[in-house]
Structure 1
Amino acid sequence: MGELAQRHLTPAANAQVAALLKGEPEPSLAGVASWADTLRKSSPESYKRTERWHYVNFPVGTCAYRPQRDCPDGNCVVGQIERQRAILGDRAQSLSARRDALKFLVHFVGDVHQPLHSSNRKDKGGNDFQISLRTDLQPEAYAQQNYVDGVMGTNLHSVWDYYILASKGVSASLYADRLSALPWPPKLPSKSMNPADWAGESCKLVDSQRLYPKSHKMDSRYLDAQRPLAERQLEIAAKRLADLLNATLTD
């Protein structure tokens, strides 16, 4: 998503991104996209403080966002997209603060378009919906103990976070090439630049697209069936991230 978005930045915004990410191991939007998650290992206290920023939970039966109810003190993905964008656009902020804001934004715009990060079910966005996934895709090192005889013990949230796209078996760069070859811009569900609306759209997909399988046993058929939706959400997220950064970083 980050690489696809960066291909559609204005020259001015691209220059700002390069200046802000100078010195990063991978100084690109794709290179910093997972930073907000890697805090879990590199800075556990920072991750604990920011963990609530990756998602928003709606009450059962509604996808209508109410800030005081759903995002007290701005501690949800909607509130943090707004907050980090404000920091990024404030030239009076320190370089390090604006750099972190950019890295958070890349990640959170992706998160809010992954439907299970904006859910109205009582299972922590699919984290409590356990899945036995038959797959040839090797898990990352930390999850190896859950992979036995070709079956991965995981949950529905992780299926959407990782397995649907990763099981395609292509690199992020090649994925971006393939998606870039499609008509641009992608058709958007709305022209809204309000992250609360983006979260509401994702929430509605949970039921309308039947994201929850009938069985807790899963194989490639589910991954293949849901991949077009996951790719569409990735395209939409890239378009909106590019628009957001162009508006924020272009004078």
Structure 2
Amino acid sequence: MGDRTIRPRARLIAALAVLLALLQPSGALAWGFFGHETTARIALANVRPETRAAIARLVAHDRELGTPHCRIHDLPTAATWPDCIRREAWRWGYTAAWHFQTAPITEPFDAGKRCGGGNCVSAQISRNLRVLADETMPANVRLEALAFTVHFTGDIHMPLHSGDNDDRGGNAVDTTYGIVPGLNLHSVWDSALAERAITSARPPLIRRYTDAERAVLAGGGPADWGRESWRIAGSFVYPNAFGRGPSPDAPLPAETTLTQEAIAAAIPVAERRIAQAGLRIADLLDRAFAPGPLPDPAP
């Protein structure tokens, strides 16, 4: 009798814990730390052994970054470092614009726009990759570039870092995620959907991918990846959230609910973007640490 009473109570407590976790501010999770760590772990599972060793040598210079509250112990913590340092806006505020390059989903995509002075995610991937590959640079400078390269490659694969509907990439869209209120569309894709995609993926996302899988999922350069995300935002993210896309005569409302059906449809999309990000990070790192000059980056 007592056991039958305890089990429903335990299930209720567990459900409340999940609810409270989802209601935490999205900035604490932002492609929440779990999402960025996962892309880094995918990359580590797919780089050359020589690349893995080169990463370890750079990570040994962590203390030279001067960020004691944001340490880099390995590639997964390097992947979250650029979000961690944003808490010190007085020092790192200039990097905020480097995490995205949103373009209206109602207009043609142009990778050259909205990137004044190189202050956008696509330009910063290319810049930091070049710094990372330059062995004449101090180790701590290359370690910082490693972290930015890995993190920004993850960011550009999240659709709402590239496409928006005059709503700050979905940040201004009040969103209920299933039965969980108080979120926004951006945070749902950054955290809740990414985390569910990672934990439910079969086979798991963190694994060694075959050459055939990499041929399908990897390839391209920052401009291509931004265009992919922009296209997904316009063709899937907004229609999935609202049941339709925006139009001049019928603008989208400022709030929505993602039903369980909408969530189920979105999970494979998030899963694919996370896998693509991880494999493309692996390709970038193998290029950066390969002997000889860095090949010209893809556009």
TM range (shorter): 0.7 to 0.9
The aligned amino acid for 1:191 is: G
Q: Which residue of 2 aligns with 1:48?
A: 93
1:162 CA displacement:
0.2
Partner Cα separation in structure 1 for residue 278 and residue 217 of structure 2: 14
Q: List aligned pairs for 1:140-151, cutoff 5 A.
A: 151=180
Which residue of the other structure, out of 259, 270, 281, is the alignment partner of 1:241?
Answer: 281
Q: Which residue of 2 aligns with 1:158?
A: 187
1:178 CA displacement:
0.8
Partner Cα separation in structure 2 for residue 178 and residue 107 of structure 1: 21
Does the Cα contact within 8 Å between 2:98 and 2:121 map onto a contact in 1?
A: yes
Identity over the aligned pairs, expressed in percent?
31
Q: List aligned pairs for 1:95-134, cutoff 5 A.
A: 95-134=139-178
1:166 CA displacement:
2.0
Partner Cα separation in structure 1 for residue 281 and residue 43 of structure 2: 6
RMSD (Å) for aligned C-alpha atoms: 2.4
Q: How many residues align?
A: 229
Partner Cα separation in structure 1 for residue 191 and residue 197 of structure 2: 11
Does the Cα contact within 8 Å between 2:102 and 2:162 map onto a contact in 1?
A: yes
Which residue of the other structure, out of 57, 78, 83, is the alignment partner of 2:127?
Answer: 83
What is the TM-score when the length of structure 1 is the normalising length?
A: 0.82
1:96 CA displacement:
1.1
Q: Which residue of 1 aligns with 2:219?
A: 191
Change (3 A) 1:177 1:36: farther
Change (3 A) 1:22 1:219: farther
Does the Cα contact within 8 Å between 2:217 and 2:275 map onto a contact in 1?
A: no
Could you say which structure has the larger radius of gyration?
2
Q: Counterpart of 2:177 in 1: which secondary structure?
A: strand
Is residue 203 of structure 1 aligned with residue 230 of structure 2? yes
Q: Counterpart of 1:217 in 2: which secondary structure?
A: strand
Q: Which residue of 1 aligns with 2:7?
A: none
Q: List aligned pairs for 1:171-182, cutoff 5 A.
A: 178-179=204-205, 180=207
The aligned amino acid for 2:74 is: S
Structure 1's consecutive aligned runs of 4 or more residues displaced over 3 angstroms after TM superposition are: 23-26, 167-170, 174-177, 181-184, 186-191
1:235 CA displacement:
0.9
Structure 1, unaligned stretches of length 5 or more?
136-150
The aligned amino acid for 2:103 is: F
Partner Cα separation in structure 2 for residue 182 and residue 247 of structure 1: 18
Q: Which residue of 2 aligns with 1:19?
A: 57
Q: Counterpart of 2:153 in 1: which secondary structure?
A: helix
Does the Cα contact within 8 Å between 1:118 and 1:202 map onto a contact in 2?
A: yes
Partner Cα separation in structure 1 for residue 93 and residue 155 of structure 2: 17
